[in-house]
Structure 1
Amino acid sequence: MSTYVLIHGAWHSGAAWDRVVPLLSAAGHRVLAPTLTGYGDRIHLLSPEVGLDTHIDDVVRLLDDQDNVVLVGHSYAGMVITGTANRTPDKIARLVFLDAMVPHNGESAVDVMPATQHLIDRAAQTDTPWRLPPMSRSFGVTEPADLAWLDTMLSDQPVRCLQQPVALDNPAAHAIPRTHIHCTTDAPPRRPVPPQDEVWELPTGHDCMITMPFELTELLLKVH
């Protein structure tokens, strides 16, 4: 039995994994899908001070009582799992970057995906320059029922999350095996993946946990 820890991306909440969690559990694994500070049912904690370090702290605390973890990060959460691995490499059996940002040491989300800067610039012209509203039509979900469900879980994204750099200077973190799952529909340009890393693809949009939960689960079960 492995422990899967599934970390949602920007604007989302732990509810994004609701179609995947029961499938992994049915296969005999322990599954945790937390909601990070400032999202979903923790939206009351949203503030200008919430940043990448806040979310790394969330996951590090969660891993305190865990071992042999398959740590999965979707989208922005690639930043979060990278920072978590740097701090607690002994807890993690494998990192899975699910259509995710894959930073180098000292990079922010804006460094990894420069296009996010225009969102920050646009927010700077508003009364709440520290928060970015969700863009529900930008996640590759097309079915009306799925879009309606997605809208129920989306909330604003703190700008600081995209601006804070991540540390990846612990040699033990570099030794953790990595898997990358790329969603190929309307995919943006990606950085080259190191030859030692596993790479799989799903023929769907960015929110594959919503659009292809069974296929995603099959891939996740291969990495435990």
Structure 2
Amino acid sequence: MATFVLVHGGGHGGWCYQSVAKILRAQGHEVYAPSLTGLADREHLLSDAVDLNMHITDIVKLIQFEDLNNVILVGHSYGGMVITGVADRVTDRIANLVYLDAAFPENGQSLVDHAGEVILAAREKMRVVDGMELVLFPGDDPMGFYGVTDPDQIAWMKPKLTPHPWRCFEQQLVLNNEAEMRAIPISFVFSAVQIDSLTDEIRQQIREFTQGRFWEINTGHDLMISEPELTADALLGVSLTLS
């Protein structure tokens, strides 16, 4: 049995992993899919104190208080920033880092540095609410980046999306334990959105770098919503490589 901690991306919440979590649990695995502070079912905790560091702390505290070890830590999109910071703080508890169509940042980078065009497109629709700069309001979906096209799936997810504090995206990631953290095995699961931007040479380099823990899913960015079975299969594949 593996232990999965699933971290969502910007504007989402733990809800986005419902179908994936159900599949993993049916296979006997332990699954945690929390919402980050200020988002989704924790939107009532939104304040100007919410930033990347707080979101990293959210997941660190979950792992510590639930006494989790050998964690397969999964991050989608912005969640890649979060899981990288988490692994830096609780390196000894992480068995594998899974970047699910996610940011794969270097020390000192922000999501703005990493995502560039897409995240700056989101900023163009920023609104100031109670003194906080917020982006990714429901319906904004910059450049159709979420990539969900099924009407039923859109109807299900749209009421659950919540605006995201901009400061999370512009805050730089600070790593203090980078050498040990970079030794943790890494896996990548790419959607068609990211795959189309990679050359064959880069794909081969990624396969070698991950020792084959590299999956491609022909769907949009929110692959855990549009293709939950294939996403769960990839995560199950990760667990098998660690057994």
TM bucket by the smaller chain? over 0.9
Q: Distance in 2 between matches of 1:51 and 1:165?
A: 10
Q: Counterparts in 2 of 1:73-88, with a 5 A limit?
A: 73-88=75-90
Once the two structures are TM-superposed, the CA of residue 127 in structure 1 deviates from its matched residue by: 3.8
CA deviations 1:183-220 (Å, max 9, x no partner) are: 01476746956542232100000111111111111110
Q: 1:119: which partner in 2?
A: 122
Residues 7 and 127 (structure 1), Cα distance of their counterparts in 2 relative to 1, 3 Å cut: closer
Which residue does the alignment assign to 1:28? 28
For structure 2, the residue ranges without an aligned partner over 5 or more in a row are none
Cα pair distance change 1:147/1:118, threshold 3 Å:
closer
Residues 1-224 of structure 1 mapped to structure 2, 5 A cutoff: 1-64=1-64, 65-115=67-117, 116-123=119-126, 126-128=127-129, 130-132=133-135, 133-134=137-138, 135-136=140-141, 137-170=144-177, 171-185=179-193, 189=197, 194=206, 195-197=208-210, 198-224=213-239
Structure 1 consecutive aligned stretches of length 4 or more whose deviation exceeds 4 Å: 185-188, 190-194
Does the 8 Å contact 2:98/2:187 carry over to 1?
Answer: yes
Normalising by structure 2, we get a TM-score of: 0.86
Superposed CA RMSD: 1.9
- Measure, in 2, the Cα distance between the counterparts of 1:75 and 1:94: 17
1:127/1:81 Cα in 2 relative to 1: closer, same or farther (>3 Å)? closer
AA matched with 1:155 = T
Question: How far apart are the structure 1 equivalents of 2:23 and 2:125?
Answer: 39
Q: What letter is aligned with 1:90?
A: D
Give the residue type in structure 1 aligned to 2:189: I
CA–CA separation in structure 1 for the residues paired with 2:175 and 2:192: 27
> Whole-Å Cα distance in 1 between the matches of residues 53 and 107 of structure 2?
14
Shift of residue 118, structure 1, vs aligned partner = 4.0
Identity among equivalent pairs (%): 41
Report the residue type matching 1:174 in the other structure.
R
Residue identity opposite 1:223 in structure 2: V
Equivalent AA in structure 1 for residue 187 of structure 2: T
Q: Is the 1:19–1:213 Cα contact (8 Å) retained in structure 2?
A: yes
Give the helix-richer structure, 1 or 2: 2
For these two proteins, the number of residue pairs brought into alignment is 222
Please state whether the residue corresponding to 2:59 is helix, strand or coil: helix
Give the distance between the partners of 2:38 and 2:198, measured in 1 at CA.
28
| 1:60–1:188 CA distance, 2 compared to 1 (3 A) | farther
Q: What TM-score do the two structures reach when normalised by structure 1?
A: 0.93
Checking the alignment, whether the CA contact within 8 Å between 1:82 and 1:103 is kept in structure 2 is yes
Partners of 1:96 and 1:207 lie apart in 2 by 15
Equivalent pair of 1:140/1:205 in contact (CA under 8 Å): yes
Cα deviation per residue 1:47-85 (whole Å; 9 max; x = unaligned)? 222110010000000110100100000000000000000
Inter-partner Cα distance in structure 1 for 2:30 and 2:187: 19
How has the CA–CA distance of structure 1 residues 56 and 167 changed in structure 2, closer, same or farther, with 3 Å as cutoff? same
Letter in 1 for 2:100: L
- Tell me which moved more, 64-73 or 180-189: 180-189
